[in-house]
Amino acid sequence: MKFGVVVFPGSNCDDDTVGVIQSLGYEAVKLWHKETDLQNCDFIIVPGGFSYGDYLRSGAIARFSPIMEHVIEHAKNGGYLMGICNGFQVLVEAHLLPGVLLRNSSQKFISKNIYLKAATNNSLLTQELDTNKAYKIPIAHAEGRYFTDEKTLASLKANDQILFYYCDENGEVTEESNPNGSLLNIAGICNEGRNVFGMMPHPERAADPDLNNTDGLEIMKQLILQTV
């Protein structure tokens, strides 16, 4: 399997993402946003950062970069696609994932470790995660508050598209453990086709023993299992 990591002006987690994929023994290449060739990549990742300085809305300009036409086509043809933090924002702007990501309820940029838990094993991204475990993963965003209308929320729940919830260190989903005011503590979702994934926390930043945290590596490993 070959991974492609899209790089926009302002991306800052592309090296982290490439490094994790390569540490798992798989090829990963960077795809500059002005390119139109996905280089035969099987799995595309849109990483975190501040594409175009987060002007207008986070992800709103990046969504129109030349490469995105081909990323969208890749996803619509059933190819795997994942957006992390700013990447999640780009994917909702491209209407590849439902809902929006609003300013944090605190109206402040938040950078800290939080806990999340897998809501389901019915997706490539969560297939072998322990749904009872609280994974410690960092967040770093100002617009991470997931929101959608009641009809879409009901559809997300009915189709088992909610992948992650913010929780406390004991795995309890509580109002206090919600760092940004996301609806129902939602930290990550997938599309109806289950090939497009988005999450606000940064698993690629918690994937190195030197950082004393490899909880994120457990999440990134799901991408290469290919059992779903």
Residues recognised as catalytic: 85, 202, 204
Query: What span, in angstroms and rounded, lies between the C-alpha atoms of 165 and 211?
Result: 23
Torsion angle, alpha carbons of 24, 26, 27, 32, to 10: -60
- Tokens representing residue 3 in the block: 């991974």
Going by C-alpha positions, the residue among 163, 173, 169 that lies closest to residue 200 is 163
Query: What span, in angstroms and rounded, lies between the C-alpha atoms of 172 and 176?
Result: 10
Which DSSP string corresponds to 77-91? Answer: TT-EEEEETHHHHHH
Cβ atoms < 10 Å from Cβ of 102: 17
